[in-house]
Chains A and B, each alone.
Chain A
């Protein structure tokens, strides 16, 4: 039988980032093929190329043996490829029926299309156990059903191959089980399913084959039956040489931050941070590892006062700061925060560097009395910080946007560290930062630890977590999966990150 999809030698670069390196992958008709990998491994890029969002720099795509140029998503749909995105592409105020015909209205009047869709929906509902009220308003449906509408939409447009991008991220376990049953039935009817995920359990439960991606390369392609969770985790994380960071043993002292059964629910009532407890002592670095989107960002926001916890306590230097919700007050108390998203939070790209380097500390009396902001002092302070942190070019008047990622990060780190905090919370300190700056930033963090400061580090780079942390906490789906020492091996951590704990396995 001709394979449903063949990707041959797909190569894609985004500037200096090599997102897909010569990827070749064959996907059989009537199978469920998993694609697994860490963040930034290139899974989503590969699927976006298949779905026509990006054009590959080189390589060929064949659908049912026929070489094709897929220039847009409508091309992809016309060739029977459908995609269910992680963030749904639905019109909340439309009914299910209206959403399903969206893009396939066929003619000036909507009536005939709707009637056709109604019978088709009824048929699909029966065939695949996908009951949805066609007249329900999509925005009022629970997330699991909204996802079902996405799948129906793709099937209605004649999808033979269905791509699902991290479909269970937003689902409850029950909903996920139901989804898997649906996917199983789709396969039995001869449809092809491509499942992008970082959760090993799902891969083992449902796929026929699994491709592993790492740093843009397709490193392995297993028969699911013939592989194991351990083998997959190892392929996913790889055997990497640790980044060499000079550091002595930690000398932890008193507890600075004590988080007790902290829970934070989003607006839909889903617990993104789920009953989390841990502490950070003075003089140690605690790393939180995990694939991004597993509650780390939300956890940081809650600790830093940007959002308020639904329940639980945060004790900082003996005071319960949980319900304070005031980042400015916390800064004065000695809590510094390097945010995960440098460009959207850490600095204001349209401001000049000196103004970005006072963000959050701008009310400080040392920058001008009362109402006044003394520009001289702002620039002087910025210049000093730039010298201490070797920011290049050391020009406080240059727009923040014009610095490279590494130098932007140094500006932020300088701002937060130079105020001599008791606790430093760092999110993704080296994301998109060049090697030289990485080394510098790591050294600075170790130095700070040796000065007896407490550091809480969140990173999706496992290498970074392992080389810097004195203790490692792994988060998955909002929960803490376990705590390990820095000597823990990749495989063990990889399994925890994929939601497999030893106790359960």
Chain B
């Protein structure tokens, strides 16, 4: 019994995102055409650059790791009915935790330091998410406003801290010393060490598996735990949750802390795994891409992993494209990514009425 206005699940889950993606790429193609390049050729370069080589795949998965974390962070907050725009700041602030642990515990062996550094990243990110959550729950400040402001606060605070606290004396670059204590080796280094095999140079590291594990953990939390049930109940119907004896203010704080904690794991991939040091503005927009990833992935971990891979492809392919075609510079790539985000996120529902009308015609 399908009620009017409802489409089969597969159309909802797969067809609409793919249609949106297709339209976004179509318009991107028009833009490429306007600046006098061949869109099909550009698309081919992007695809080849991202999935045509082991190196391309390495970068794709490395970007995707960040997007899985930030996408999951946004999704958890979504399920509690909250729009966490602050993934960027939470991920950035978490770098502080990773760096402090990595630098101060150098005297301990790495199997101890790395887990502590991971937990510290999550804890710092969680704190940066918890504070806006607390302000919303107890003071009624809107979460969208506070998380945006917290992005700026994190940004300024980190500039100050990196510059005056972490930058070694006499060094020009605004970055910390290498976090030798919690150095996560890349797959390239691991392959060389254990198998004496030469992989092309990529920053991909085992944090990718952590991301997949966290995705599974988020699924388990939301759909197989009592606390996750409460989070979803508050997000779906606050009145019903109150009736059930759930305290929305508590859930808001818990959900924001978890959300911030997961966003904070970006620091593991970047600070510990790729850069091995705390670098200025190292998050590079991954927090915002997380919003698009969560929207496209329908706030479900499986969807988020798939969407993160797609955005990884766009990032890596885009970089390759700007190398191959100087006319299509870095800004063009941002335009293309922006269009994808626009159609996946803001205009997500645009085609739904037409599509569902088509389904009804087919049914009648």
On A, residues with C-beta under 8 Å from B are: 304-306, 326-331, 337, 339, 341, 344-351, 355, 358-360, 362-363, 367-368, 371-375, 402
Pair A362/B237 contact, Cβ less than 8 Å: no
User: Which residue on chain B has the smallest CB distance to residue A367?
Assistant: B226
**Considering the complex of A and B, which 9 residue pairs feature the smallest CB-CB distances, nearest first?**
A328-B245, A327-B245, A360-B244, A345-B243, A348-B237, A359-B244, A348-B236, A373-B226, A350-B236
**In the bound complex, CA of A414 to CA of B243 (Å):** 16
User: Which residue on chain B has the smallest CB distance to residue A349?
Assistant: B237
Shortest distance between the CB of B12 and any CB in chain A (Å): 13
A373/B240 contact (C-beta < 8 A), A329-B245, A359-B233, A360-B245 known: no
**In the bound complex, CA of A152 to CA of B235 (Å):** 41
Pair A362/B240 contact, Cβ less than 8 Å: no
Pair B224/A306 contact, Cβ less than 8 Å: no
Q: Mark B202-235, 1 if CB is under 8 A from A, else 0.
A: 0000000000000000000001111111101100
A326/B236 contact (C-beta < 8 A), A363-B226, A373-B226 known: no
Pair A359/B226 contact, Cβ less than 8 Å: no
Pair B245/A344 contact, Cβ less than 8 Å: no
Q: List 18 additional A-B contacts (Cβ < 8 Å) besides A359-B240, A362-B244, A373-B225.
A: A304-B243, A305-B245, A326-B245, A327-B244, A328-B245, A328-B246, A330-B245, A337-B243, A339-B243, A345-B239, A345-B243, A346-B243, A351-B233, A359-B244, A362-B229, A368-B226, A371-B227, A373-B226
**In the bound complex, CA of A434 to CA of B343 (Å):** 44
Shortest distance between the CB of B6 and any CB in chain A (Å): 9
Q: Which residues of A contact B229 (CB under 8 A)?
A: 355, 358, 362, 373
Asked if B35 lies at the interface with its beta carbon under 8 angstroms from chain A, I say no
Tell me which of B1, B224, B245 contacts A373 (CB under 8 A): B224
User: Which residue on chain A has the smallest CB distance to residue B233?
Assistant: A348
**In the bound complex, CA of A306 to CA of B242 (Å):** 7
Q: Which residues of A contact B230 (CB under 8 A)?
A: 362
User: Which residue on chain B has the smallest CB distance to residue A356?
Assistant: B240
Shortest distance between the CB of A203 and any CB in chain B (Å): 35
User: Which residue on chain B has the smallest CB distance to residue A373?
Assistant: B226
**In the bound complex, CA of A372 to CA of B244 (Å):** 18
A362/B226 contact (C-beta < 8 A), A326-B245, A328-B245 known: yes
Near A by CB (< 8 A), chain B positions 235-279 give: 236-237, 239-240, 242-246
Q: Which residues of A contact B232 (CB under 8 A)?
A: 351
Shortest distance between the CB of A236 and any CB in chain B (Å): 32
Tell me which of A341, A344, A371 contacts B225 (CB under 8 A): A371
**In the bound complex, CA of A374 to CA of B3 (Å):** 30
Main secondary structure of the interface of B (DSSP, over half): helix
**In the bound complex, CA of A339 to CA of B241 (Å):** 12
Q: Which residues of B contact A368 (CB under 8 A)?
A: 226
Q: Which residues of B contact A373 (CB under 8 A)?
A: 224-226, 228-229
Pair A306/B243 contact, Cβ less than 8 Å: yes
Q: How large is the interface on B (under 10, 10 to 19, 20 to 34, 35 or more residues)?
A: 20 to 34
Q: Which residues of B contact A402 (CB under 8 A)?
A: 1, 3
Q: Which residues of A contact B224 (CB under 8 A)?
A: 372-375
User: Which residue on chain A has the smallest CB distance to residue B227?
Assistant: A371
Near A by CB (< 8 A), chain B positions 61-109 give: none
Q: Which residues of B contact A348 (CB under 8 A)?
A: 233, 236-237, 240
A346/B242 contact (C-beta < 8 A), A362-B229, A371-B225, A373-B224 known: no
Pair A346/B245 contact, Cβ less than 8 Å: no
User: Which residue on chain A has the smallest CB distance to residue B220?
Assistant: A372
**In the bound complex, CA of A326 to CA of B246 (Å):** 9
Q: Which residues of A contact B233 (CB under 8 A)?
A: 348, 351, 359
Interface contacts (Cβ under 8 Å), in number, total 70
Q: Which residues of B contact A359 (CB under 8 A)?
A: 233, 240, 243-244
Q: Which residues of B contact A349 (CB under 8 A)?
A: 237
Pair A344/B242 contact, Cβ less than 8 Å: no
User: Which residue on chain A has the smallest CB distance to residue B234?
Assistant: A348
Please name 17 pairs of A and B residues whose Cβ atoms are closer than 8 Å in the assembled complex, sorted by A. A304-B243, A326-B245, A344-B237, A344-B239, A345-B243, A346-B243, A347-B240, A350-B236, A350-B237, A351-B232, A351-B236, A360-B244, A362-B226, A362-B230, A372-B226, A373-B228, A374-B224
**In the bound complex, CA of A328 to CA of B247 (Å):** 10
**In the bound complex, CA of A338 to CA of B245 (Å):** 13
**In the bound complex, CA of A328 to CA of B245 (Å):** 5
Pair A372/B225 contact, Cβ less than 8 Å: yes
Tell me which of A331, A339, A347, A367 contacts B245 (CB under 8 A): A331
Shortest distance between the CB of A65 and any CB in chain B (Å): 42
User: Which residue on chain A has the smallest CB distance to residue B223?
Assistant: A375
Pair B226/A360 contact, Cβ less than 8 Å: no
Q: Mark B1-19, 1 if CB is under 8 A from A, else 0.
A: 1010000000000000000
User: Which residue on chain B has the smallest CB distance to residue A360?
Assistant: B244
Q: Which residues of B contact A367 (CB under 8 A)?
A: 226
**In the bound complex, CA of A355 to CA of B224 (Å):** 11
Shortest distance between the CB of A69 and any CB in chain B (Å): 28
**In the bound complex, CA of A339 to CA of B223 (Å):** 25
Q: Which residues of A contact B236 (CB under 8 A)?
A: 348, 350-351
Q: Which residues of B contact A328 (CB under 8 A)?
A: 244-246
Shortest distance between the CB of B271 and any CB in chain A (Å): 30
**In the bound complex, CA of A341 to CA of B237 (Å):** 12
**In the bound complex, CA of A355 to CA of B236 (Å):** 12
Q: Which residues of A contact B228 (CB under 8 A)?
A: 373
**In the bound complex, CA of A216 to CA of B51 (Å):** 67
Name the residue among B1, B228, B237 with the largest chain A CB count within 10 angstroms.
B237
Q: Which residues of A contact B243 (CB under 8 A)?
A: 304, 306, 327, 337, 339, 345-346, 359-360
Pair B245/A371 contact, Cβ less than 8 Å: no
Pair A346/B223 contact, Cβ less than 8 Å: no
Q: Which residues of B contact A329 (CB under 8 A)?
A: 245
Shortest distance between the CB of B170 and any CB in chain A (Å): 51
**In the bound complex, CA of A19 to CA of B233 (Å):** 34
User: Which residue on chain B has the smallest CB distance to residue A304?
Assistant: B243
**In the bound complex, CA of A234 to CA of B223 (Å):** 54
Shortest distance between the CB of A416 and any CB in chain B (Å): 11
User: Which residue on chain B has the smallest CB distance to residue A329?
Assistant: B245
Shortest distance between the CB of A338 and any CB in chain B (Å): 10
Shortest distance between the CB of A228 and any CB in chain B (Å): 42
Shortest distance between the CB of A16 and any CB in chain B (Å): 16
Shortest distance between the CB of A392 and any CB in chain B (Å): 12
Q: Which residues of B contact A339 (CB under 8 A)?
A: 243
**In the bound complex, CA of A346 to CA of B237 (Å):** 10
**In the bound complex, CA of A358 to CA of B240 (Å):** 12
Q: Mark B101-133, 1 if CB is under 8 A from A, else 0.
A: 000000000000000000000000000000000
Shortest distance between the CB of A344 and any CB in chain B (Å): 5
